[in-house]
Amino acid sequence: MKLLLKAVTFASAIVATPILAAGWTLDADRSHLAYGSIKKDTVGEVNSFTNLSGHVTQNGKAEIEIDLSSVETNIDIRNERMIEFVFRKAGTASLTANFDMAEVSELAVGETTTVDAASVLSLAGTDVQFDAELFVARLSETSVLVSTYDMVFLSTADAGVNAGVDKLMELASLPGITRTVPITARLIFHTDQEQAATPTEATAVVAAAAIQGDAKAGKKVFRKCSACHKLKEGSHGVGPSLHGIVGATAGQADGFKFSAALHGSDIIWTQETLSAFLADPKGYLPGNRMQFRGLKKDADIINLLAYLQDEG
Ligand code: HEC
C-alpha cells in the first residue's frame, strides 16, 4: 500500500510540472474581460468583450486578442458608437503580459498564487503600459485560472480614447463620463498538450474520456476483427476501415459500400453504442451486413475499444 502510494505521488509529480510548463491556450467560452464606466458621476455600467482569444508561451509571455467589435454594453446603439468612436473600428486590440512562469508551473492542483505582470494594451495605434497583479489558481492538471487580483485602472487619456469618449458624451448628451476605467479579467487556460489531444467533436470527447480498457489486451481481441477490418485510413476489406471509429458517425467512411441499415442509422460510435453493437451486431442493428456473432465478454469489448481509440 505504502509503495503504491509512493509510486502514484511520484508519477503525478513527473506529470504535473512539464504539463504546466507547456504553453497555454485561452478557453474563450469560460473567460471574461470587462471594464466599468461611470456616467453623470452616479451611473455605473459594466461593458465586456464576448470574443477573446489568446495564448501564453512556456516562458510566460501572454498574448490576448480582444475582438473590439464584440463589445457588449447591453445597448446596441451604444455598442456601435463604442466601435466607431472609441475603438475607431480598430478590429482587435491586443493585451500582452509577461510574468514569471516558474512560479506558476510549481503550483499543485488547488493551490493559488499571485504574480506581477508587466502588461501592454495596444489599442488603435496607442500602447499603454501598466503593471497588473494577477491571481493564479491551478484548477486541474491541465488548466489554470488567471484573474486580476484587484481592478486595474486605465486612463482614457493614456489609452488615446479621450476624443472618442468626448464624442459619446456629446451624442448621448451626458454631462460627464469618468476618464479612468476599472478593468477586471477572469481567464481560463488549458495547457496545449490537452488541447492537442482533444478531439474536436463533443461526442468524441465523451467517448474518449470514458474508455478505461487495456489497449494492449485489446490488440489481441482485434485479431477477431482483422480478417475483415484494418485500422489504416481508407483501407477497406470485407469490412470498412475502422480508422477514427470512436466518435465517428456510423456508415460514413469514404469508399466503402455500407448497408442501408448502417449508412442511414445516425448512430454515433461512442463507448456505449460500440459496446452494444459489438456484443450483438445483428440484435443491435438489424439488417447490417457484418457477419460476426459478437463478443461475449465485457472486458474484451472495453479493452478492444481502448485499442481502437488509441490506435485507430
Ligand atoms: C466477417 C467480416 C467481419 C468481421 C469478423 C468483423 N466485421 Fe465489423 N463489419 C463488417 C462489415 C461487412 C461491416 C459493414 C456492415 C454494413 O455495412 O452493414 C462492418 C461494420 C463494422 C462497424 C461499423 C463501421 C462504421 O463505419 O460505421 C464496426 C464499428 C465494426 N464493424 C467493428 C468490428 C469489430 C470491432 C470487429 C471485431 C470484434 C468486427 N467488426 C468484426 C465485417 C466484419
| Tens-digit pLDDT profile for residues 259-276 | 999 999 989 999 889 999
pLDDT reported for residue 5: 35
Distance 274 CA to ligand 1 centre (A): 11
Q: Atom 34, ligand 1: which residue's CA is nearest?
A: 225
Q: Find out whether 281 and 295 touch, Cβ atoms under 8 Å.
A: no
Ligand 1 atom index nearest CA of 250: 27
* End-to-end alpha carbon distance in the chain: 36
Cell of 23: 504553453
Longest dimension (CA), the chain: 81
Domains of the chain: 2-191 (2.40.128.110), 199-311 (1.10.760.10)
pLDDT in tens, 95-122: 999 988 888 888 888 999 999 999 999 9
Residue nearest ligand 1's atom 35 by CA: 225
290, three cell numbers? 457484418
Q: How sure is the predictor about 15, in pLDDT bands with cuts at 50, 70 and 90?
A: very low
- Out of 34-43, 144-153, 194-203, 240-249, pick the least confident: 194-203
Average pLDDT, the chain: 84
H or E stretch at 193: helix 192-197
**Ligand 1 pocket residues where CB is under 6 Å:** 224-225, 227-229, 238-240, 242, 245, 250-251, 253, 258-259, 261-262, 269, 278, 288-292, 295, 304
Cell 480614447 sits on residue: 161
